Each structure stands twice: as C-alpha cells, then as structure tokens.
C-alpha cells in the first residue's frame, strides 16, 4: 500500500471530532420509552427495540437520561453506583448492546452524567458520614451548626426548604441542593475530582460518544459558606415552579456558579480529548446568569463543547421580541462558544402545552428550533406533537410535584410513556401497568399512526431535519440580520459562500416580511408553502420561508 493509499484510508476512518457542532440530539427518558420485561418501566432492551424509530427521524445522536444504580428517589439522578446499570433497566451487557445497535444505525450515544451529587445510599456517603476523620470525610460538603443549632447559612434547596440536612452521626449538617437524599459532593477535594474523571473514562471506554452533564454549574460551592443575598422580586424568573418555591427569592452567588468550576471543566475536557470524538453538553441551571455561564463554559477549546440554559424552556411566550432578544443576547455574549437549544425536556411542561400551540404552530416552532445557530435537543414525543399529560395526585411519582401540589403539579406530565400504537390502552409501551399512566389523548398521536400519514407532525419533523442537514449554513453557520417584525422572526444563516434567509410567522394571521438586500431564491425543499408574491413576501399563519442567496 503506497503513501497516498495510507492517507486516503486515514481520511476514511478518521472520526469527525466536530460532529457535535450543529447536531440534532434526541433525548430518551428510559423509564418511559419502551418496557421489554413486563414490569411497567422502560429499560435498555426497550430502547434497543425502538432505536430504528429514532434513526429514521434523521437525528445525529441520542441522549439517555440516567440508568445507573439508584434508589430512584429522583429517578436516577440520585446515583448509588456510577459504574453499573440499575437492574430495573437491565445490565452492562444490555448497555453494550445498545451502544452497538445505535452505532450500527449511525447514532452517537450521550449519557447523562450526574457529578454534582450522589444518592445518600452511595458507599462514599455511608463512609463520609461515619466520622470527621475517615478517608472520605471530606468527600461531601459538611459544616457545623450555628451556635443556636440552625443550619450554617441561608442556602435553599431547589426541592424546597433548607439546603442543609442534619446528620446525627457526624453532628454536622451536609449540603443538598436537591433532595435531602442527594448530598452534594465536595469537588474542592482533589480525590473527588479524580474519582469523577475515572467515572467518565469508564463510560468512554465502553464506547459512549460523550455526556450530557447534569447541573454543570452546581459542581462547586463557596468554601466560606457566605449567605446568598436576596433577589429583587422583579428578577424572579425561574423556569420550574417559580410561583411556589422561595429558592428563586435568592441571588445564588455562593451556592453555585463558582469560578473554580472552570478549572475542573478543563480537566474534564482533557479526558474527553483522549478519545477520538467525544463531546459534552452541559445543563446550566440558573435563571439569572445562564447565558453568561454558557459563554464561559464553552469558550475556547478547553472546556465543554456546548451548553444549554433555560431561556426557551421557560413559560415566557415566544413573541418575536423575546426570541430575537434571547438570540441577540446569545450572539453578543457567546463568542466562540456554542449553544444547544431545546424547547422541551424531562423537567419542564411540554412546550405544546406550555405555549398553547395548535398543530400548525407546533410545526412552525419546530422549524424555528431547527434553524437556530447551535445544536438542538429534541425530547422524546416532541416529534409526535405530544401535549403535557394530566397526572392525578394518586398517580404522582415526582417528589417535587408531591411537595408543592396542587399549585405545581410536578414533572410527571412530561414523563408519561411514549405511545407507539393506537390499538392498546398502554400505547404499546408495556403490557403491564405503566409506572405512569399513558395519556388517553396521546394514543391518537402514536408513532404507528403518524408513520402512515404523509402530513403528520412526525413526518414533518423528519422532513425538517432532512432540510436542516441539506444546508451547511443551518448546521454550523453564523447568524446575522436578526429581525423581529410585528409577528415574525427572521435572520440569515451563513457558512462560507452559502447564505440562507429564514423567516417565521409566529401568529395566526398573515404577516409581511422584508427580504434582505440581494437576490434570493426560495428553497421549495423546505416543508412549507409560503411564496413571494407581486407585492413582496407575505407569510401565511404559522408558515416559514427559506431562501438561498443567488
């Protein structure tokens, strides 16, 4: 074999290290995707069975929410063993088979890594709480009580109440930003960092293509344990349950968002860079500083590859001014960083209900999402146009909802099982009683039903993803000419000599749109019908227009 053949072979087998930039990632919530062993809970074998559906959508990767060993008080986000699969989901062998099947279908695999906290049933915590001088005594955040016995400071838990829980074994408080059964790890301890980096290597060695990093801005706390100041009521804009949870009454300067996080992210990125094309997307959980942190954490090429914050996961309606304001803020701050946009996930009300969208609007919003500069996360069932399901209190599983019912009904409404077929009261998800009830109104939107209709929402998503992938400018291009009209949003995406004008009518009435200067040719491969008339471009209700520069 000559040198040229060697070079050609290297080009063929070399992975694309930049595959994540502009990728479409499909989130799978394993408990609710497909049950294969008749216990009413989805599992890894069920995911394997349904992966062809995901691949047929044309997405680039899947993100699987936690499947590690766990007491499941927060449904896998309370990890008791980072390096094993919980038996309810299967085994490590099942996971290896899932990786192989996904790769065979051309799908990358990201898994949800929860590094800020563990379960209180993790062996590390059992040891840490036994005394103040054991080998893991400093692996969690411990602090003495105030002289009057009250907690060390005013920090609050996202799930309600104080973020401190008393341990009679150590006669100290430990920090928990979430449930009291989810103690926070102390990443100021170098041994903790090393152990977490070894967890990342464990899964990378098994073939995962990267991670979704849960609560990436919660890794470090202020070592001086200073009180958080009060937040101006006008700035209380939390995404989840802002009307019932005083967590959003504080300016969270000290319990998260610490500068030490940047050095740890550099260490994690160095581990990722040891592998051919591994990536990471971080969840920035902060209502006030999310965009700034997103820019910090993804800047340069030495931290995480991309992050998402909650600007488009909130209840705020997507008016043109709001959309353009968020996007312009992003463009002004992100620099060489990279965003990952989402409208729905496992923590928020499904956006079809959150924004009260009809069928045409659901499709138009999908087109907008898939045209933004950045990568995209789609949440399972989003492609079916699923609405938020009502879950009665007696069926409720989410501890957050149970705590604040009825003013906040929790996150179960977006976590109900996927409907696969219409002729089964469980939608083909399971032949046993599901862990959450299947919404009756979801059955008519089942995958099998929509696959047979060329005009279904699922087919629209498939076509729109294909359209996105036909333009380099939509995948990796820059964004410019951001404009908010009376009821419209428009912008230009550019990559090299390729320019694409994108316009969206977010209203139920026809709206005029001004074309940028130059000559533009409508791309009729987009799944929309709007055309330029003699008097210019007028977008029908909930229609989009895409035109390439000539």
What is the average pLDDT across 138-150?
98
Q: Which helix (H) or strand (E) holds 490?
A: strand 488-495
Q: Number of folded domains in the chain? A: 2
259 within some domain = yes
Do 266 and 201 belong together in one domain?
Answer: yes
Provide the residue range defining the domain that includes 497. Answer: 477-549
What does the pLDDT look like over 56-112, one tens digit per residue? 999 999 999 999 999 999 999 999 999 999 999 999 999 999 999 999 999 999 999
Do 520 and 376 belong together in one domain?
Answer: no
What does the pLDDT look like over 131-143, one tens digit per residue? 999 999 999 999 9
529 within some domain = yes
pLDDT at 9: 45
Cβ–Cβ under 8 Å, residues 405 and 415:
no
Domain closes at, from 424, 448, 468: 468
Structure tokens at 295: 């820019």
Do 482 and 348 belong together in one domain?
Answer: no
User: 17: which residues sit within 8 A by CB, 6+ positions away?
Assistant: 276, 277
- Global pTM reads 0.96
Domain closes at, from 449, 468, 487: 468
3-class secondary structure, 20: coil
How far apart, in whole angstroms, are the C-alpha atoms of residue 306 and residue 374?
A: 8
What is the average pLDDT across 270-289?
95
Do 278 and 383 belong together in one domain?
Answer: yes
pLDDT at 240: 67
With 80 as the cut, is the pLDDT of residue 11 above it? Answer: no
CATH value at residue 501: 2.60.40.1180
pLDDT at 131: 97
Do 542 and 464 belong together in one domain?
Answer: no
pLDDT at 239: 67
- First-residue to last-residue Cα distance in the chain: 44
Do 462 and 489 belong together in one domain?
Answer: no
Range among 116-130, 285-299, 395-409 with highest mean pLDDT value: 116-130
CATH value at residue 372: 3.20.20.80
Catalytic positions are 214, 274
Lowest mean pLDDT among 157-161, 236-240, 344-348, 374-378: 236-240
Q: Which residue has the tokens 């043109």?
A: 320
156 within some domain = no
Do 382 and 502 belong together in one domain?
Answer: no
What does the pLDDT look like over 208-229, one tens digit per residue? 999 999 999 999 999 999 999 9
How far apart, in whole angstroms, are the C-alpha atoms of residue 484 and residue 299?
A: 28
Q: Is 142 exposed, middle or buried (0-12, 13-18, 19+ CB in 10 A)?
A: buried
141 within some domain = no
Structure tokens at 397: 């599983």
């Amino acid at each position: 074999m000559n040198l040229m053949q060697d070079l050609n072979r290297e080009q063929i087998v070399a992975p694309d290290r930049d595959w994540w930039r502009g990728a479409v990632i499909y989130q799978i919530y394993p408990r609710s995707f497909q049950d294969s062993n008749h216990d009413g809970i989805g599992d890894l074998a069920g995911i394997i069975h349904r992966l062809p559906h995901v691949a047929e959508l044309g997405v680039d990767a899947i993100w699987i929410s936690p499947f590690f060993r766990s007491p499941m008080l927060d449904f896998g986000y309370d990890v008791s063993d980072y390096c094993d699969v919980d038996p309810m989901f299967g085994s490590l062998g099942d996971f290896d088979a899932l990786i192989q099947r996904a790769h065979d279908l051309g799908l990358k695999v990201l898994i949800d890594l929860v590094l800020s906290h563990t379960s209180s049933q993790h062996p590390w915590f059992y040891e840490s709480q036994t005394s103040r001088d054991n080998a893991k005594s400093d692996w969690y955040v411990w602090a003495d009580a105030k002289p009057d016995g009250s907690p060390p400071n005013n920090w609050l838990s996202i799930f309600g109440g104080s973020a401190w829980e008393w341990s009679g074994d150590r006669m100290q408080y430990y920090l928990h930003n979430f449930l009291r059964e989810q103690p926070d790890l102390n990443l100021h301890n170098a041994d903790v960092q090393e152990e977490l980096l070894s967890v990342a290597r464990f899964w990378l060695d098994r073939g995962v293509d990267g991670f979704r990093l849960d609560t990436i801005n919660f890794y470090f706390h202020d070592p001086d344990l200073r009180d958080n100041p009060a937040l101006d009521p006008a700035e209380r804009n939390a995404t989840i349950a802002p009307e019932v949870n005083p967590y959003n009454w504080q300016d969270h300067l000290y319990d998260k968002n610490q500068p030490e996080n940047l050095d740890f992210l550099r260490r994690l990125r160095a581990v990722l860079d040891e592998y051919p094309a591994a990536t990471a997307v971080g969840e920035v959980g902060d209502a006030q500083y999310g965009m700034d942190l997103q820019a910090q954490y993804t800047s340069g090429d030495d931290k995480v590859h991309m992050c998402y914050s909650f600007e488009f996961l909130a209840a705020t309606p997507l008016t043109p001014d709001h959309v353009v304001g968020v996007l312009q803020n992003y463009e002004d701050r992100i620099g060489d960083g990279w965003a990952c946009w989402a409208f729905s996930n496992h923590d928020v009300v499904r956006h079809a209900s959150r924004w009260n969208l009809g069928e045409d609007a659901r499709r138009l919003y999908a087109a907008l999402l898939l045209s933004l500069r950045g990568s995209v996360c789609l949440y399972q069932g989003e492609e079916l146009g699923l609405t938020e399901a009502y879950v009665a209190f007696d069926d409720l599983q989410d501890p957050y909802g149970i705590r604040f019912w009825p003013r906040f009904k929790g996150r179960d409404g977006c976590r109900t099982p996927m409907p696969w077929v219409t002729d089964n009261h469980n939608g083909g998800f399971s032949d046993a009683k599901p862990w959450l009830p299947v919404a009756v109104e979801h059955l008519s939107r089942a995958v099998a039903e929509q696959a047979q209709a060329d005009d279904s929402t699922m087919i629209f998503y498939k076509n729109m993803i294909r359209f996105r992938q036909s333009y380099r400018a939509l995948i990796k291009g820059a964004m410019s000419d951001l404009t908010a009209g009376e009821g419209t949003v428009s912008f230009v995406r550019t990559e090299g000599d390729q320019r694409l004008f994108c316009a969206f009518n977010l209203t139920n009435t026809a709206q005029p749109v001004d074309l940028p200067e130059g000559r533009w040719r409508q791309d009729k491969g987009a799944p929309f019908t709007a055309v330029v008339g003699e008097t210019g471009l007028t977008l029908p209700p909930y229609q989009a227009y895409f035109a390439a520069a000539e």
